[in-house]
A and B are shown apart, each in its own frame.
Chain A
Amino acid sequence: MTMDHCMKPAPVPVKFLTPGVIVLILLALNGLAFLAGRLFFGIGAVTNLTNQYPWGIWIGIDVAGGVALAAGGFTTAALGHVMNREEYHAVVRPALLTAMLGYTFVALGVMIDIGRWYYIWHPLVFWNGTSALFEVGICVTIYVNVLYIEFLPIVTERFIGRVNLPGLLSRFNALVERVLRALERGLSKTMFVFIIAGIVLSTLHQSSLGTLMVIAGPKMHPLWQTPILPLLFLLSAIAVGFPMVIVESLVAARSFGLKPEMQLLSKLGAMTAPLLGVYLAFKIGDMFIRETFVHLTVVNTASVMFTLEVLLGVVVPLRMFLSRDVLKSPPLLFVAASLTVLGVLMNRVNNFVVAYTPSYSLGSYVPSLGEVSVTAGFICMLVLLYRAAVLIFPVISLPDRSLSPRSRYMVRG
Chain B
Amino acid sequence: MGVLVDTTACIGCRHCESACKTAHDLPAGPLESYEDGSVFDAMRRPDENALTVVNRYDNPKNANAPYTVKVQCMHCDHPACVSVCIVGAFSKMDDGSVVWDNDKCIGCRYCMIACPFQVPAFEYRKALQPKVMKCDFCHERRVEGGLPACVESCPAEALTYGPRAELLRVAKARVDRSPERYVRRVYGEFEVGGTSWMYLAGRDFKDLQFPELGRSPAPGISESIQHGIFAYFVPPVALYGLLGMLMWNSKDDGKE
Please give, as numbers and ranges, the residues of chain A lying within 8 Å of B251 by CB-CB distance. Answer: 84
B256 touches A86 (CB 8 A): yes
B106 touches A215 (CB 8 A): no
Proximity bits, A112-134, B CB within 8 Å = 1, else 0: 01111001101100111111111
22 A-B interface contacts by CB (under 8 A): A42-B125, A42-B130, A54-B109, A82-B246, A84-B250, A86-B254, A114-B108, A115-B108, A115-B122, A123-B106, A126-B89, A128-B88, A130-B223, A134-B86, A134-B87, A192-B244, A211-B226, A212-B110, A212-B113, A215-B222, A217-B116, A359-B118
A211 to B45, CA, bound (A): 28
A106 smallest CB distance to B (angstroms): 14
A383 to B13, CA, bound (A): 59
Q: A295: CB under 8 A from chain B?
A: no
Q: A362: CB under 8 A from chain B?
A: yes
Binds B, one of A201-209, A275-283, A327-335, A405-413: A201-209
B106 touches A114 (CB 8 A): yes
Q: B147: CB under 8 A from chain A?
A: no
B45 touches A362 (CB 8 A): yes
Contact pick for A115, options B116, B130, B213, B236, CB 8 Å: B130
A82-B246, A196-B244 given; A43·B114 CB < 8 A? no
Contact pick for A360, options B89, B209, B226, B239, CB 8 Å: B209
B124 touches A360 (CB 8 A): no
A197 smallest CB distance to B (angstroms): 7
Q: A181: CB under 8 A from chain B?
A: no
A113 to B106, CA, bound (A): 10
A54 to B87, CA, bound (A): 18
Q: Is the interface of A mostly helix, strand, loop or mixed?
A: helix
Q: B234: CB under 8 A from chain A?
A: no
B236 touches A127 (CB 8 A): no
B101 smallest CB distance to A (angstroms): 9
B110 touches A44 (CB 8 A): no
Q: B159: CB under 8 A from chain A?
A: no
A127 to B104, CA, bound (A): 10
A54 to B244, CA, bound (A): 41
A114 to B116, CA, bound (A): 21
Please give, as numbers and ranges, the residues of chain B lying within 8 Å of A40 by CB-CB distance. Answer: 127
Q: A158: CB under 8 A from chain B?
A: no
A116 touches B43 (CB 8 A): no
Interface positions, chain B 225-256, Cβ under 8 Å from A, are: 225-226, 229-230, 236, 239-240, 243-244, 246-247, 250-251, 253-256
Please give, as numbers and ranges, the residues of chain B lying within 8 Å of A41 by CB-CB distance. Answer: 125, 127
Binds B, one of A45-53, A160-168, A373-381: A45-53
A217 to B45, CA, bound (A): 20
Q: A8: CB under 8 A from chain B?
A: no
